[in-house]
Amino acid sequence: MRVVLLALMIAMMLAMLDNMIIGTAMPTIVGELGGLEHLSWVVTSYTLATAASTPIWGKLGDLYGRKGVFLSSIVLFLIGSVLSGMAQDMGQLIAFRAVQGLGAGGLMVGVMAIIGDLIPPRERGRYQGMMAGVMALAMIGGPLVGGTITDHLGWRWTFYINLPLGAVALVAISAVLHLPKKRSEARIDYLGAALLTVGITAIVLVTTWGGTEYAWTSAVIMELIGIGVAALVGFVFWQTRAAEPILPLHIFRSLNFTLMSVIGFIVGFVMFGATLFLPLYQQSVQGASATNSGLLLLPMLGAMLVTSMVAGRVTTQTGRYKVFPLLGGALLVVGLYLLSLMDTETSRLTSGVYMAVVGLGMGCLMQITMLVAQNSVEMRDMGVASSSTTLFRTLGSSFGVAIMGALFNHRVQDVMAERAGALGSKVTEQSAQLDAASLAKLPVAAREAYQHAVSAGTHGAFLLGAAVAVVALVAAVFVKEVPLKGAGPQTEDAGTAEARAQVSGAV
């Protein structure tokens, strides 16, 4: 069991670490391959492929068995990694990153669904700390590892480093993991998959391009919104008629599952917004080094890790969990509001305390959302439940980065124009986010104006985050504390009981 869990955590790290590592290597990649105008697509193609494929991987696991589908996603991810490392121009790199993203879509879902198969929800809490630790390690260590590899081995090794880790996961899972084999005669819902892919792609492109590549009111953004809405409406309509739907709508009849989807969306919205703007604030306003940008998040991620471990142990020992969404929602609202109070005079100690409050809130919510979501469905829908929860968190992160980013950029440009006049407007006309080199070249007056502008931008972004987090708190109020499976005597339908018995025997 420990070997299987170690392999699953390695696979989870592969999915989370990749974008963190690549971010620090991007300047070097652009320097060698060119194509600066297409730079954003290196990340966007990966994100699009991951989001679009996530529900499909989950459904395939439900239909044909987790092990084979999960191993396939690892192999596809490694193929994408090798091809990305061999790319000769920016176009190839973007295409190969999409292949890598398709594999990544199955990694996180596979980890969550397999854990859901192997471990009853009552016992699953004790492993939350392990998953939170992997997440924290990826966020803190990713930029440091990426910078070190790029400086000493070259940027191509930021992709090749996935191979030994992936090989360990492949060998361990192939040899040790034993799950009951499935062979469904049901046909894959290709129309549903196509409609969902188009809908998700349009949404992610709107949140990625809106306010940056194109104005929010431009024809391109309006067309994408129309395509996305039409595709998702068509998808929902088709799912009520498909023989084996990609995303069976009956799982949303569970109030807890629906609430966890909402909370998961908001966690993604807040977390990725925070990880984007906190390092920017600390580098621009507090003068921190960009090299250690991952370490700047340590108060938040450390608090998240500790709280997640405590929440998991308490849940395992008592079988009770409603207190954690409630407490997490409240801490998230308070922590984000405190972050919105930061200005040019805020010390690193004070901002660290504020970040820790946010981390405590996220620690109460991160894994509990998946735990309760999985507990709300039958075993046969475990993959779909895992993929849906992951998808909502991914979409939340896209919306969070886009909306908080648009608010931040607008506020920075307004304050720069107010404080530095025409020079301020010229400084930020290309981007409201300046790197350390650009910031150092500014006149003192313009630099001070930019620091005030970033403070104002982060104030608006985090105040919006606090308002959005209120929705998570309200949703937590309506969570029903359904006994966790494995917490004591309970009735199960025959199929669920048989599947659980098969899994127990296999383990």
- pLDDT of 506: 42
Query: Is residue 144's pLDDT more than 80?
Result: no
Name the residue with higher pLDDT: 319 or 35: 319
Lowest mean pLDDT among 85-89, 232-236, 449-453: 449-453
Non-local CB neighbours of 27 within 8 Å, separated by 6+ positions:
none
pLDDT, mean of residues 480-491: 61
Non-local CB neighbours of 302 within 8 Å, separated by 6+ positions:
136, 356, 359
Q: Which of 53-57, 329-333, 400-404 has the largest mean confidence?
A: 329-333
Non-local CB neighbours of 372 within 8 Å, separated by 6+ positions:
256, 257, 260, 321, 325, 479
- pLDDT of 505: 43
Give the model confidence (pLDDT) of 234-272 as tens digits.
Answer: 988 988 887 778 788 888 888 888 999 999 899 888 887
Name the residue with higher pLDDT: 144 or 83: 83
Query: Is residue 181's pLDDT more than 80?
Result: no
The model's confidence at residue 425, banded by pLDDT at 50, 70 and 90, is low
Percent with pLDDT over 70 in the chain: 84
Type of residue numbered 269: F
Give the model confidence (pLDDT) of 15-59 as tens digits.
Answer: 777 777 776 677 677 777 776 666 667 777 887 888 888 888 888
- pLDDT of 338: 92
Is this structure's pTM higher than 0.75? yes
Give the model confidence (pLDDT) of 430-442 as tens digits.
Answer: 455 555 556 666 6
Give the mean pLDDT of the chain: 79
3-class SS of residue 107: helix
pLDDT, mean of residues 284-312: 76
pLDDT, mean of residues 368-382: 80
Percent with pLDDT over 90 in the chain: 13
Query: Is residue 493's pLDDT more than 60?
Result: no
Query: Is residue 201's pLDDT more than 80?
Result: yes
Burial 373-403 (b: 16+ CB within 10 A, else e): bbbbbebbbbbbbbbbbbbbbbbbbbbbbbb
pLDDT, mean of residues 312-337: 87
The model's confidence at residue 182, banded by pLDDT at 50, 70 and 90, is low
Name the residue with higher pLDDT: 326 or 125: 326
Type of residue numbered 277: F
**Measuring CA to CA, which residue among 479, 257, 212 is closest to residue 381?**
257
